Amino acid sequence: MKIAVLGSGAMGCLYGGKLAEAGYDVTLIDVWKDHIDSINNRGLHIEGIEGERTVRSIRAVSSAGEAGPCDLLIVFVKATLTAQAVESARGIIGERTSILTLQNGLGNVEKISAVVGEEKVIAGVTGHGSTLLGPGKIRHAGQGVTVIGELNGAVDERLRCIGAVLEKGGFDVKLSQNVMGLIWGKLLVNIGINALTAITGLKNGRLVDFSETEELLRSAVEEAVAVAKGKGVILEGEDPVEHARNVARLTATNRSSMLQDVSNKRKTEIDVINGAIVQEGKRLGIPTPVNKVLYNLVSVKEKTYEEV
């Protein structure tokens, strides 16, 4: 199977690297030239919970067209870039290509479907945490289950095949009949963790060490749960607040993707995480004051990067 990873930052490199180690033909696609050059010249260096090694059986390109046709396209670009990135990858998406999104936030499934058709899309969530250390280097900071599902809820041969591919890459995989509910479940975790870490500079696990941040985590998640219920989303698993706390503990040493973005003065995904809850709350008449504050604070950080 030929696999391409669209958006090869911390998480794209983690999935691409582990799949290449398993023997698959993997191409990473990213716009950061130094990152691409480092991977091609020196390999992809991975350190962290599974030890330290360099993956050399992988290549990287700066445009999707250089990757060539693929059987599986895994999308890891930031949600704000999804439509543009998938449109740029049209040339490598064949009749039998499956597209798997494991991105954060709301709206990615709809954006991808609008470009390539809903029938090509498989959605999922990942419990892994990864940090980009520099060009060609990542730290695997936390691990969990990867859950994938067809949009229509079917557990079919295609889904089983992609699940088996991920399992061969060393991922713990579950197949879901309610993947949109699980995407909301992952969103609730990001609601509780990402903006708070971006504002405070704390690693994930530290959020539950202080009563002040733990209270904000709880309130933000509870608001988002109310919005999810208002939309008729079926949530699965344990209490969402406790789940967010547990994820923070399990990824204690990880710097969230939003904290990494703020540290590197990059555009964050606040619009499709806390911002999405604020917008949906407005539409449904459900108040979301804590999420509004978190959204505003991260937005101001973005606007004042050059002043710091």
pLDDT at residue number 124: 95
* pLDDT value for 250: 87
Cα–Cα distance list, 103 to 23, 268, 276 (Å): 24, 13, 15
Closest CA to 44 of 171, 140, 138, 168: 138
pLDDT at 137: 98
Helix (H, G, I), strand (E, B) or coil at 214: helix
pLDDT of residue 102: 96
CATH architecture, domain 181-302:
Orthogonal Bundle (1.10)
pLDDT at 97: 98
- What pLDDT sits at residue 2? 98
Residues 254, 56: Cα–Cα separation, whole Å: 25
* Per-residue pLDDT reduced to its tens digit, 255-291: 898 998 999 999 999 999 999 999 999 999 999 999 9
| pLDDT for 142 | 84
* Placement of tokens 């439509």 in the chain: 83
Locus of tokens 């709809």? 110
Is residue 273 within 8 Å of 105, Cβ to Cβ? yes
> 3-state DSSP helix/strand/coil percent for the chain, to nearest 5?
50, 20, 30
Give the pLDDT score at 237: 79
Output the pLDDT for position 27: 98
Question: Helices in 145-273 by DSSP H: which ranges?
Answer: 157-168, 179-200, 211-230, 240-250, 257-263
> Do 181-302 and 2-177 fall under one CATH topology?
no
Q: Half-sphere exposure of residue 247, counting CA atoms within 13 Å on the CB side?
A: 26
Which among 100, 142, 95 has a CA at the least distance from the CA of 246?
A: 142
Whether 120 is a known active-site residue: answer no
Q: What's 17's DSSP letter?
A: H
Domain range summary for the chain, segments of one domain joined by +: 2-177, 181-302
Burial class (CB in 10 A: 0-12, 13-18, 19+), 26: buried
Q: Write down the catalytic residue from 18, 111, 137, 186.
A: 186
- A 10 A CB-CB count for 152 gives 10
72/281 Cα distance (integer angstroms): 35
- Name the fold adopted by 2-177: Rossmann fold (3.40.50)
pTM for this model (two decimals): 0.84
The ranges of the chain with pLDDT < 70 are 308
pLDDT digits (tens, 9 = 90+) for 31-41: 999 999 999 99
Distance (Å, whole) CA 99 – CA 46: 25
